[in-house]
Amino acid sequence: MPTAAATSDAPRRRRFAATGRVRSGCLTCKARKKKCDERYTADGNRCQTCARLSLVCERVPLRRVVPKKKPRDASRSPSPSTSPSSSPLPSSDPDAGQQETQQDEGEVETSVLTSIPAQTRANNNNGFIALFSLENASPERILLKYYVERLASLCSILQEGSNEFRNVLLPMAIDDSSLLYALFAYASKHLHTSDPAPFSISPLARLKFESEAARGLSEAIRLNNVSESTIACALICSTAEVVSGDTTRWFVHLQGAGHLINQRGGPDRLRQTSDGLFLLRNFAYHDILAALSTGGRPRISGIYWVEDGPISADCLMGVAHELLGHISDICILIADASDNDYCYEADLIHRGESLAQKLKTQPLNLRTTLSSTELGILLHHAEAFRFAGLLHLYRFLSQFSPTAYALRVSECVEGIITHVSQVPLSFHCEVGLVFPLFMAGIAGVDDVTKTYIRNRLNNIFSWTRFEHITRVTELLELLWATGRTDWETMVRDLEWKVSLA
């Protein structure tokens, strides 16, 4: 027999593993194979680890005790509800308890997404659907809800009907996490403008969303795996910078979206799907207005975003598709004059007059199911764009003959104000009037017109909280204070790239 000393020196068997695993920790830490500290926040929603990492903290749901059912007559055939696989009675298998424990610790996804159909869970493994099914309000869920319920509607000038910023971008985000993070970053930048803000997103969390979106973009480019959702991600990154009031980075993202479209196969490839057509319209709208405000040329020329036949109302262009095509040609004319010093003045005037005639006589070929009221307002929006494009062209031509075009510029200002005044205040279409209002404001208008333009821009900002409208207003105020109209020179002096979208 061993002695007492030998017995005390023998190693003792440990009941628990040395890794420190606990059965009462949260499912999120278990899924990450990390030890849960089990120190929950004041509201009890998250452990300290999940709170520090901004993760959704999930715990094992409470189980309902099901009373035992009386066994049925053995002579009866078993029904589906009494089959062995669905019986609530405990199994007689001695390993059943061990198997149940392993299931509790390992199958985290099943316990977290119990309310989601199995097929849906299999098709959406990036957690997108879980953001809506979980009861705890994570930052991601709040941002996605904010984008769906508020921000997406602010991006469209249509008052009624479907919103492509929801119907197109959200399904894409299910399959592309980089686009999903771009939507998070977009919503987080606009969320703080709400008064009062329903939720506070830390700068670190916002940086995380932006970094993940950028990482997904770079990875898609590196692997030559550019998809429609990759293009959408670049466009959302650009728009997020625009509405936050940035005057540089938004243009870089927009140029990147143009590169991605070409890498994807160009407009012809995107036109094969309805989602691709939406992305083309989105890019074309911002690309043309960016070329106008920067003095460059559009990345892609022509009216490549429309098909033959009547044109449907769009959430960005309204019914002004073909008018924007002519404005694109005007930008190319001005860029040609800047790039080629040898251009003859007579040739430039001839090209300009030809473009002016096309823009003035362009009919609006419509196909829409909108109400007559909204369609009438969209027509005023399109006419304001027509006069704004003509004003930009006449200002360029006036350098060759100031007297000949002074009256035409005044007529364009009058036309813009007339049509803008027909758009009701805080109507969704009003958000698309920044470009016409700015063009009217740079034409040396009187104090009454200045006050009207200032009040109208302030009203758009008051209900959209898009900060680029503040930059546009600041630029106009500088021009008015100094009595200048050479806004292109002032923008270069400020080293700004102002978005007029």
Say how far apart CA 180 and CA 121 lie, in whole Å.
17
3 state DSSP class of 233: helix
Q: Is the pLDDT of residue 273 over 50?
A: yes
DSSP-assigned letters across all residues of 97-110: HHHHHHHHHH-HHH
Contact (Cβ atoms closer than 8 angstroms) between residue 231 and residue 214? no
Q: Tokens 């006069």 — which residue?
A: 387
Q: Determine the average pLDDT of the residues in 226-242.
A: 96
3 state DSSP class of 314: strand
Tens-digit pLDDT profile for residues 41-83: 777 778 888 888 877 787 776 555 555 555 554 444 443 333 3
The pLDDT-based confidence of 119 (bands split at 50, 70, 90) is very low
φ/ψ (deg, to 5) at 40 = -90, 155
Q: Determine the average pLDDT of the residues in 11-40.
A: 66
The pLDDT-based confidence of 19 (bands split at 50, 70, 90) is very low
Peptide bond connecting 71 to the previous residue in cis, omega within 30 degrees of 0: no
Q: Is the pLDDT of residue 243 over 70?
A: yes
**What pLDDT score was predicted for residue 18?**
43
Say how far apart CA 118 and CA 212 lie, in whole Å.
28
Q: Is the pLDDT of residue 213 over 80?
A: yes
**What pLDDT score was predicted for residue 253?**
96
Contact (Cβ atoms closer than 8 angstroms) between residue 434 and residue 157? no
**What pLDDT score was predicted for residue 342?**
62
DSSP-assigned letters across all residues of 397-466: HTTT-HHHHHHHHHHHHHHHHHHHTTSPTT-GGGGGGHHHHHHHHTS---HHHHHHHHHHHHHHHHHH--
Domain boundaries, the chain: 19-60
Q: Determine the average pLDDT of the residues in 428-456.
A: 95
Average pLDDT, the chain: 81
3 state DSSP class of 282: helix
Q: Is the pLDDT of residue 252 over 80?
A: yes
Contact (Cβ atoms closer than 8 angstroms) between residue 362 and residue 322? yes
Contacts of 348 (CB under 8 A, 6+ apart): 333, 337, 397, 400
- pTM for the model stands at 0.74
CB atoms within 10 A of CB 177: 18
